[in-house]
Amino acid sequence: MKLSPSLLSADFGRLAEEIRAVEGAATYLHFDVMDGHFVPNLTFGPPVVNALRRHTAIPFDIHLMIDRPATYAPRFQVGPEDVITFHVEAADPPDEVIRTVRKLGCQVGISLRPGTALEEIVPYLDRVDWVLVMSVEPGFGGQEFIPEALDRIRELRRLIGDRPITIAVDGGINAGNVRQVVEAGAEVIIAGSAIYGKGDPAAAARALIAAC
Ligand code: DX5
Ligand code: ZN
């Protein structure tokens, strides 16, 4: 299992320190970019994400919960280890977004809301590197894990077949359910409040890994 701590639950006034706290446990850092349209919440964008490059060598996992991913993806500074994930429900056509993100030289991720049928992403599976399964409604941290996500992860595994695609799962994951999520087929675990909501992010990250 690879851990991608979500900075959505971190102290935004001390982001560099919050990142340092999970070095050693984190394979990726998860950035929830929200535009107030695609989801009813606003967070941060390219200037904040790009500025944090100077403070860490951990690859970035950039989750775009925005309507126009093809317009804004090129504003993120990315390398081959980073991932930019867009939503299949966004306003820009998925084909255009995949082409745009691919050109940036990073990994391409596709995501879907809990209520969107998995079939919606099947046409794109040959052209993406990872699929991010939302196990809460996108927009806010600290929500409860939707149990139906476990069956969706198993079904997605089947649909992926032998394609080299990573499954990431995002939302409501904690030390009590992480093992089930990994057993269902998740390779990357994204967790916000379980890591940053308890005062000691390093210990919380280690506890999540230990729980697997
Ligand atoms: C929700 C975000 C998640 C969020 C997860 O829209 O995509 O990444 O940070 O937070 P927790 O782990 O608290 O559910
Ligand atoms: Zn996210």
- List, for residues 116-148, the tens digit of each pLDDT value: 999 999 999 999 999 999 999 999 999 999 999
Write the Ramachandran bin of 145: left for phi over 0, alpha for psi from -120 to 50, otherwise beta.
Answer: beta
Q: Taking Cα atoms as reference points, which of 141, 82, 89, 145 lies closest to residue 113?
A: 89
8 ligand 1 Cβ < 6 A: yes
Strand order in the sheet with 130-134: 2-5, 188-191, 166-170, 130-134, 107-112, 83-87, 60-65, 29-34
What is the DSSP secondary structure assignment for residue 67, as one 8-state letter?
A: S
pLDDT band with cut points at 50, 70 and 90 for residue 13? very high
Which residue is closest in CA terms to ligand 1's atom 7? Answer: 138
Positions annotated as catalytic residues are 32, 170
Give the number of the atom of ligand 1 that is nearest the alpha carbon of residue 30.
8
What is the tally of structural domains in the chain? 1
Whether residue 68 has pLDDT greater than 90: yes
Q: Taking Cα atoms as reference points, which of 193, 187, 157 lies closest to residue 173?
A: 193
Does the reported pTM lie above 0.95?
A: yes
pLDDT (average), residues 33-40: 98
Whether residue 43 has pLDDT greater than 90: yes
Q: Could you tell me the residue range of the domain that residue 196 belongs to?
A: 2-210
What is the Cα–Cα distance from 109 to 124, expressed in whole angstroms?
10
Q: What is the CATH number of the domain that holds 54?
A: 3.20.20.70
